[in-house]
Each structure stands twice: as structure tokens, then as C-alpha cells.
Chains A and B, each alone.
Chain A
Amino acid sequence: MTSVLRLEARRNITPLLLPVMALLLWFSPYGRSLGDLALWARRSSALQESLLGIAPFMAGVAAWTASRDGRGQTLDLLATTPRGSWRRGLYGWAATTLWGLLFYALAAALLFGLTAREATWGGPSWWAVAVGAVTIVTFSAAGHALGVLFPGRFVAPLTAVGSFLAIVVGAVVKTQNNPYGLVTPVGTSIDPDRAMFYKTGPAEDIVQLLFLTGVTAVAIGVLALPAAAGGRWVRRTGTALTAAGIATAMAALWLAGGAKVNVNEGRIFIPHLQSTPADQEISYTPVCDRSPIPACVHPAYRRTLGQVAAALRPVTVQLAGLPGAPQRIDLRLNGPSTPVGGAPPVLYLEPPLDAADAGEPIRGGDAQQLRSFLVTDVVTAPGSEPTAAQQAVMLGVLAVAGDPMDTAVLPTRGEPDASVTAAARRFAAAPAAERRQWLGAHLGALRAGRLTLKDLP
């Protein structure tokens, strides 16, 4: 009955709300992500977060459309038509849902189209798109069911606001590391940045799809149970849908209930859907610059490479070629703490993801922090408290690089002695060739902690 569906679609009120929903998209993480660096994981996550603005409206509109016959007093008239109430109502629901899906599809197409032009690695998360689409169907179905069952003046606002509350409460549950919150489609537990370095898999998406599908089936199935809904086959269909929906939703809750969630670290493990809780790295070929000590970043962050290299260069020019100095600096999350003396010596640093994600230039505090991390990892051994000599050299190298003499950058407990800053100034004031010669001869001993301030030039 495409004719009825066309009629319902033409007269549906959803199109009237689309401009409002587009405005809400602009305010949501979706809109904000368009100004940030084009990272597929982050933008796919933003698309899913935009459901917070879409789903309540879909539920409210569906409830409004479904309660139309009660409001318009057409129940008697429509009861005389051959099609039972269940099948009749599905057209209105389908029209509302199709408009919502069209809007979502356009939003996804726009976001992914812009991302495809700018992104330098990876691809869209189709699981996120699927979850979003099913979310729209689910909230529309729930609204439709409530509108049919309670066709009063309050059903549309209560459904819309109730949906909004349910989504946000679910997100709160998720942020409390409660595994049952995983069924909520909004507020992903996975850190989108981490998703570029470690395989995250679709486990959370699968749980959400199962739960949402179950709720949809129950919402539509329940309406087919009364006698007025239709004939025997309609009621059997309703019974089957309701039973299957309950089973599916319960299965999703069971899967979620066994999960381990750590929102702070952006990690989840769902035992029956994932084989191991251990992180599986995603292999990629980093992109590097041609500095004396090349700086390398994840290909998704290719556009930040120049800024990263520029931030590190004032230090790398001092250290390049020295015995024991790293031959490459690799910026990645949770990189192994490789001693610089390893072969080939690669130094791993945490990338400045906040600035990079926001598309902001890496300068100022972020650049200073990168340089201080680099100097610390070169001059000190991992896990050890820096000696006075190490502190002085670190401060001195950073001062030569142009950073202010700020002892706060030192990874020490408590304020260093005044003699440290004095030694650092002397080191920085020494001629470049003398500093380099001294570092070449003493870097290993300095790193091993065998030198004192008296040994500095």
C-alpha cells in the first residue's frame, strides 16, 4: 500500500521539525566536530551523539501521529475499513520513521562526505551509523505505541521528554561504569582517540543494536495483541514479535551485565562478544618529518606533523646524533617505555590529542609540554627520581630551546634546590659546541645518575 504510505508521508509533521533538528545538530557534537580535525572515529562518535537531539523529537512526533485518530475522533469511521487498527497504524509510523531516517542519512552523508575530503587515515564506523538508524526506528516505534495506547493531550510531550530523560539517565549510568548503561546509544564508552591505536570492535554496538531491536519489536508487537487490531494472523504476529523482542532485549542486558567498563580509560570488555580483554594494537605506518631526529605521528594526525616537528625541533637539534639519543620520536597513545639505549632507539611520547583534535595549533603550553616530555625521557631513566644534575641539564636544554626556566616542568617531588637552576643557567649559557661536546661524552653517565652538579660545564 505505497499509496497510503505516500499520503501519510506527505502529511506527516516531521518535515516541519527538520529545520529545528538541523539547528540542534549544529549545536551538538556533530556541529562541533566539523571544526575539529577530521578524524573518522571522532566524527562517527559525534554522529551517534547527535541522537540526543533527534531521538526525543522522533518519539514525540510518532506519539502525536499515532494519537491522531483519538484526537480527531476518526476511530469509528476507520473501524469500518477492512484493515485492522494495527496495519492501519503502521503506515503513519512508517512515514514518521522514514522522514527521521532520511534526515539522519543526509546528516551522515554530509558529515562523512566532508570527512572523506579531509581525513588522512581510516574510514567511517558503519556500526555507529547502524546504531543511529536503529535508534531512530526504536524511539519512533516507542512513541507510536504510546500514542496508540494513550491518545490524550499529554502523550506527545510526555513521550518526547520521557525519551530525553531515558537517554540522559542511560548516559549517566554509563559514565558511572555501570555495564547496563552500555545499551544506551548515546555517550559512548570508547575513547575515539584510543580507537585509532587499539582495536575496539563492535561489541558495544552489537549490544545496543540488540537492545534497540528488542524494544522496537515489543513496541510494535504489543499493539497487535488486542482483538480489534486485526485477525488471527495479526495477533499471532504480535505475540511472536513481543516474545522475540523481550528475548532480544533481555539477551542484550545479559551481555551488557557481564561487561567490564572503564569509562576513564575509554575501554570496555564484553566477554561473550570479545575474545580477550587485552588491547590489540592497530598496525599502521606512521608519517614522519625530516628533522634531525624525525618526529612521527599517526597518519590520521598527518596535518599536525609539521606543528609537532616544529615544537620538538628546538630540542632535537641539540640532541640529534649524540650517543644514546633517540633516532626517532613516535607519538602514540600508551607507547612502550623503551629505554633510549635500545636498538633502534625510538622514543615514544603521548600526542597532544586535545589540541590536535580541536584543530588548534600546537604551541604555547602544549609545545612546551612536548619538549619537556622529550627531554625528560632522554635525560632520565624511566621510573627514577631525577638527580640534581639531570634536573639542571633538562632545564638548561629547555632554556636553550626558548622555554622559560620553570622548575614546574620537572618530574620531581618538591621544589628543586636553587643550585639546580643556577647550574641550569650556566649550562644554557655555555657555547653550543661545548654543550654538545659535553653531552656527547656524558649523556650515558648522566642518564645513569652517576653525575653531580659539579660535573656540569
Chain B
Amino acid sequence: MNVEINDLTRSFGRKRAVAGVDLDLGPGVFGLLGPNGAGKTSLLRVLATVLPPSSGRLRLLGLDPGAHGPRREIRRRLGYLPQNLGYYPGFTVCEFVEYIALLKDMPPRTVPRAVAAAVEEVGLGDRARSKLRSLSGGMLRRVGIAQAIVNEPELLLLDEPTAGLDPEQRVQFRTLMRRLGERATVVVSTHLVEDVGAACGRVGLMLDGRVVFTGTPDELSARGEAGGIGDAPLERGYSAVLAESRP
């Protein structure tokens, strides 16, 4: 298991953003769905070691992120795309990805090739030398994906990765996720259920800081057959589970 979570909580003051989550994730693509404020981003930030958990047990890649040494090792093998990706406007596409690659302690000799491969993978090969300030929002998102995958991570955490991508790019991205999920654990937080349906082997649904459903997309769709709001089976399943889980 690359991700082992047991009764994990994360609070911000009095607000419990993550309220007792249990998850075990191995290689594959895990989709994380939920309404706004459900705690998806907070959970992802805890998994990314940006925030420590307030309580509970967490092991990533077999290591305890609470200790400094193991945390550094986790970060070397981790890829993360935050919901709001910051960037340095004066850097070029390659420079930004290279910068992150070097900070991840990748061997300098391997960095140029890895950067080129990552930039090509997201379809920005012809814009590799463009300054980031000259890119559109969708292109910047793809730069974000490139920096997340440059070190071929064993644990890849993506928060709203397809925001701003056009349909063709979203299809390419799903293919990329499936490929990465063959050997790594990929956790994708998204509002787009069709992305989850197309790329994810398992899906979790969060509400008010709790995971109220885990299973396959087909199992989620099945929950909607009894009644639910939506145009597609997965949407109906999503809304049906939420309706059942709300007090």
C-alpha cells in the first residue's frame, strides 16, 4: 500500500476539514469527488505533506511523514499539483519544471531528459522555451502537471488537474493518468465525474470531511439507479450518495 490512512483528522481552528478518514490505496488511479468544502483539498494537502494531520495515523509509501527524514524521502518520490498553482512569470516552461525537478533531488544529469519528457507528455513541447507569463490558463495547468510528473512519482496527487483544459487535452490527460496508475498511486480530486469515470479504477466521495463512499465507478453509478439527480449514471450515483449521507 502506498497510502495508509487511519482515522485521519485535520482541523483549522474549530472547523474540522477532515473528520476521520480511513483509506488504503495501492497502485492505480483513485478519484476523489465531493461538493465544495467537503475537505478534498485539505486531505490532498495532508497527503502531500504540506499540512500535518491533527490526529490519526498516516503512512505514505511505507514511511511516516511525521519524522523529518522519512518526510524528505516521501517528497522525493511524490508529485503534487495544487488547486491554485503559483508560478514565476519570468521562468520559461522548461526552467520551471527543471527547478522543481532539482528541488526534488533528482540527479542533475537526469534532469534535462526528464524535463523534456514531462513537457512533451503534456503537449507543450513547442512552448518549452516560452515564458510562463505568456501562457494561457490551460497551458499553465499543463505546466503544473508536467512539474508533478517530472520525477516519475510513486505517489501523485492532483487537485483539479483538468481545470482549463480543452476536451481533447482532457482525453489525453485521462490516458496519461491511466498509464501512470499502472505503477503509481494517483489521487485525483475533481468535480468532473466524467474524468473519474474514464480514468479511475476506484472512487471516493467526501462530504463534510468524511469519506461517505468508496468503491468502483460502476458501484457508484449503481447507487443512482434507485433515484438521483444527474444526466449520467455516475452523476446520479454521486447525488444519490450525497443525499443519503446528508443528515
Contacts and interface: CB of A to CB of B under 8 A. Distances in A.
Q: Do A and B come from one complex?
A: yes
Interface of A: 1, 3-4, 7, 10-11, 13, 68-69, 72-83, 88, 230-232
A82 B82 contact: no
B78 interface: yes
B164 to A, nearest CB: 16
Contacts of A1: 102, 108
A81 B104 contact: yes
B105 A83 contact: yes
Given A11-B91, A76-B48, 9 more contacts: A1-B102, A3-B102, A3-B108, A7-B95, A11-B95, A74-B86, A77-B147, A79-B48, A80-B78
A366 B55 CA distance: 85
A80 B68 contact: no
Contact of B100 (A73, A77, A232): A77
A72 B103 CA distance: 17
Given A77-B82, A80-B78, A72 B50 contact: no
B88 A11 contact: yes
Given A4-B103, A80-B48, A72 B86 contact: yes
A4 B86 contact: no
A413 B49 CA distance: 86
Interface residues of B, number: 32
Contacts of A11: 88, 90-91, 95
A79 B49 contact: yes
B75 A81 contact: yes
Given A73-B86, A75-B86, A88 B103 contact: yes
A77 B86 contact: yes
A81 B148 CA distance: 11
What's the dominant secondary structure at chain A's contact region?
Answer: helix
Contacts of A230: 68
Contacts of A69: 86
A7 B75 contact: no
A418 B49 CA distance: 98
Nearest to A87: B103
Interface in B87-124: 87-91, 95, 98-100, 102-105, 108, 111
A80 B72 contact: no
Residue with the greatest number of chain B CB neighbours at <10 A, chosen from A13, A78, A81, A232: A81
A379 B132 CA distance: 82
A81 B86 contact: no
B85 interface: yes
Contact of B102 (A4, A73, A76, A231): A4
Contact of A82 (B95, B99, B104): B104
Residue with the greatest number of chain B CB neighbours at <10 A, chosen from A3, A75, A88, A232: A3
A217 B48 CA distance: 33
B149 to A, nearest CB: 13
B142 interface: no
A457 B108 CA distance: 96
Interface of B: 45, 48-50, 68-69, 72-73, 75-76, 78, 80, 82, 84-91, 95, 98-100, 102-105, 108, 111, 147
Residue with the greatest number of chain B CB neighbours at <10 A, chosen from A74, A78, A88: A74
Given A80-B48, A80-B78, A72 B88 contact: yes
A52 B84 CA distance: 41
Nearest to B144: A77
A82 B86 contact: no
Contacts of A231: 68-69, 72
A13 B91 CA distance: 12
Nearest to B49: A80
A68 B90 CA distance: 11
A81 B89 CA distance: 20
Contacts of A80: 48-50, 75, 78, 80
B151 to A, nearest CB: 10
B76 A82 contact: yes
B102 A78 contact: no
B45 A7 contact: no
Residue with the greatest number of chain B CB neighbours at <10 A, chosen from A11, A77, A88, A230: A77
Nearest to B95: A7
Contacts of A83: 103, 105
Contact of B50 (A3, A13, A76): A76
A238 to B, nearest CB: 14
Nearest to A79: B50
Contacts of B105: 82-83
A81 B84 CA distance: 17
Nearest to B47: A80
Contact of B103 (A10, A73, A78): A78
Residue with the greatest number of chain A CB neighbours at <10 A, chosen from B45, B72, B111: B72
Contacts of B147: 77
B87 A72 contact: yes
